[in-house]
Amino acid sequence: MSPISRLATLLRRTTSRTTETRSLDAAGSGRRWTDDRQATGPGVVYQTAPTIGARAQHFALNTSIGARITEALVGMLIGAGIVPRSRHPAPAIRETLQLSFSSWTDVADADGRTDFYGQQAQFARDLVVLGEFLAVWSEDTRTGAPQLRRLHPEQLDRSVSWRKPTGYALQGVEFDLTGRIVAYHIRPAMPGDALAGYTLAPERVPASEVIHGFRPLMPGQVRGLSWFAPVLMPAKELDATLDAMILRTKIAALHAGFITDNEGGSPYEGDSSGAAQEVALEPGSMPVLPNGKHIDFFPLPDQGGATALVTGLFRMIAAGAGVTFEAATGDYSQVNYSSARMAKMDLRPFIEGVQHHVVVFGLCRPVWKRFVRWQLLTGRVSAAAYMREPGTFDVAKWLPPAWPWIDPEGEAKAAEIALRTNLRSRSEIIAERGYDAEEVDAEIAADAARLKRLGVAPAAQVQSPAPVARAVPEMLFRADFRPASIDEKARTVELIASTGAGVVRYDIEGPFREDLIVSAAAIDMTRLEGMPLLDSHRQDSLDRVLGAVRAARVEAGQLIVKVEISARAEAFWQDIRAGIIRNVSVGYLPIQWKDGLDAKGARVRTVTHWELREVSLVPVGADPTARTRKLEDA
């Protein structure tokens, strides 16, 4: 044998041994895989979905945990409803569409049992329990308004599966040769239900007249699977375990004692059949025993770790259904702020994914397009305008229900900081709360107009907590004080912006003192160029800009800034020259800090790194040493 042949033979033997001995355990065989069960494709879903759906419906209707999980999921997915907002650029058309849609929601249900948002909850329930939702379009016989009729998903006939030269059908869904859905084969009633004495055959309904949605779990899937499929077996075991524990408790409480009877007789009442007697045990009974007789009971086994087992089963079911243990059981005894926040962060992406990828895509968008077509037919929307730009009419933004705040004050502050630092828009923050920015602004404007008309003073403006102190002691200064750093020609003056003096602030735990480290390394001055000099931290108008900061430096533990006063603020300039306006405050963003206690045990927060955002002239400053520089300072 040649050297090349011997090498080839050696490589084959080595490869063979490696394949046999180094396979992945999950792909292996043997004793541990004797009960191997596999899901190889969507065919498994089609075969098992009806049985799983029926069991899931029983789980949701007849068990406490199933009912709670169902309602929790429906509430998180839909809540009071996923509401549309037209994206048309013209405000008048947006308002027309919004008003018409709000009116239409009351007649959206062809059965007249709820409105469109109630239908959303019904479809979400079908999605969770049965794995899919199904509806057909109809019309109001009086107005011609489009309406939706909710159907049981099993009315989509699973027996309709065939292949023809023009296309094919699978599980009641018909496709053309390109794989596009063209029709659904729907029974007028559930399988097994008899109408007029016989079962009706399925009807072919065009795809444009049907709304069908589910969460696809694998490629090629055309029908849904109940979300409870992973938990039905452990739920059945949990039910049996709880029944056994309850029965054991009952047996343990059956007898209070026994009485001996010298005359004999049976200690129990019941029917006799030969030598056997059927007896009934009652809690707290004291049976009479015949003379010389005794009764033995098997010792009741200790429950041991039954409580931990039941809790583990509850957690397994909650995890498999996609909710938290607390949402599934209603037990919040072990929850704190951190765990509640982590649970919310973990659950939110899943719920939002289903909202947008299944409910909005499969239900809400088709409904909006059908509604717009109806507006065209009724003349409320101009056909010419629609033909020019159909996309502007067909697009709407759908706003899911807001997630409840765990820490309202902390989350509101976080949103405020994100808004001030241009990390998020105001519209996005409002939309996250489940509202529309245009509606909110219109309501605010209407409130302001009504207050002005009635002569009611508006509520005081609340300043940002970062740059403005919440509790400031009143400060007194000498009346003959005069600045000494004024440059009349350049209209500049130097200000002591901050010395890091402690300011009292508040958080959810109460008051604390906040100190600033004033050093070149601690202060981020990247925004110095073009930084404004403001009137009392007001940012709502250009009239609040009194000038600009031209330079800044740290000197002997003080932040010194040189500001130029605008010619528009001549009155302010004269008061500064006269020493009437003398108090200064800075607006800043804390970046890094450390918390501790002072000598008296009071809370102290030391901000070690902060960003200078703006400088303001104020009536009363938070830092008593922040002021226009006087002669001895210079």
Identify the weakest region by mean pLDDT among 55-64, 200-209, 308-317, 392-401.
308-317
pLDDT, position 256: 53
Identify the weakest region by mean pLDDT among 22-31, 47-56, 138-147.
22-31
pLDDT digits (tens, 9 = 90+) for 535-564: 888 887 888 888 888 888 888 888 888 889
pLDDT, position 415: 79
CB 612 within 8 A of CB 523: yes
pLDDT, position 269: 58
Identify the weakest region by mean pLDDT among 89-103, 225-239, 319-333.
319-333
Q: Helix axis angle, 306-321 relative to 232-252, nearest 10°?
A: 150
Identify the weakest region by mean pLDDT among 30-44, 377-391, 591-605.
30-44
Query: For residue 334, how many C-alpha atoms fall within 13 Å in the half-sphere facing its CB?
Result: 8
Beta carbons within 10 angstroms of residue 99's beta carbon: 11
Residue 279 has pLDDT above 70, yes or no: no
Identify the weakest region by mean pLDDT among 89-103, 446-460, 604-618.
446-460
Give the model's confidence band at 372: pLDDT under 50 very low, under 70 low, under 90 confident, else very high.
very high
Cα dist from 406 to 345, 409, 509, whole Å: 11, 9, 15
- Give me Rg for the CA atoms of the chain: 37
Residue 150 has pLDDT above 90, yes or no: yes
Question: For residues 269 and 149, which has the higher predicted lDDT (pLDDT)?
Answer: 149
Give the chain's mean pLDDT. 80
Residue 501 has pLDDT above 90, yes or no: no
C-alpha 164/C-alpha 373 separation (Å) is: 34
Share of the chain above pLDDT 90, in %: 27
Residue 351 has pLDDT above 70, yes or no: yes
CB 584 within 8 A of CB 621: yes
pLDDT, position 413: 79
Structural domain boundaries in the chain: 44-136+210-254+305-402, 407-454, 492-628
C-alpha 400/C-alpha 172 separation (Å) is: 31
Phi and psi (nearest 5°) for 558?
-120, 140
pLDDT, position 14: 55
C-alpha 439/C-alpha 445 separation (Å) is: 10
C-alpha 134/C-alpha 119 separation (Å) is: 11
In 181-275 the beta strands, taken as DSSP E runs, fall at 181-186, 203-206, 210-214, 259-261, 270-273
Q: Which two tokens stand for residue 250?
A: 């009952």
Residues 6+ apart with CB under 8 A from 114: 122
Residue carrying the six token digits 């300011």: 503
Tell me the whole-structure pTM to 2 decimals: 0.61
Q: Where are the alpha helices (DSSP H) in 437-588?
A: 437-454, 570-578
Residue 462 has pLDDT above 50, yes or no: no
H or E segment to which residue 274 belongs: none
pLDDT, average across residues 311-320: 84
CB 626 within 8 A of CB 495: yes
pLDDT, position 475: 31
The winner for highest mean pLDDT among 29-43, 218-232, 406-420 is 218-232
Give the model's confidence band at 268: pLDDT under 50 very low, under 70 low, under 90 confident, else very high.
low
Share of the chain above pLDDT 70, in %: 77
C-alpha 210/C-alpha 283 separation (Å) is: 58
Give the model's confidence band at 274: pLDDT under 50 very low, under 70 low, under 90 confident, else very high.
low
pLDDT, position 107: 94
Give the model's confidence band at 431: pLDDT under 50 very low, under 70 low, under 90 confident, else very high.
confident
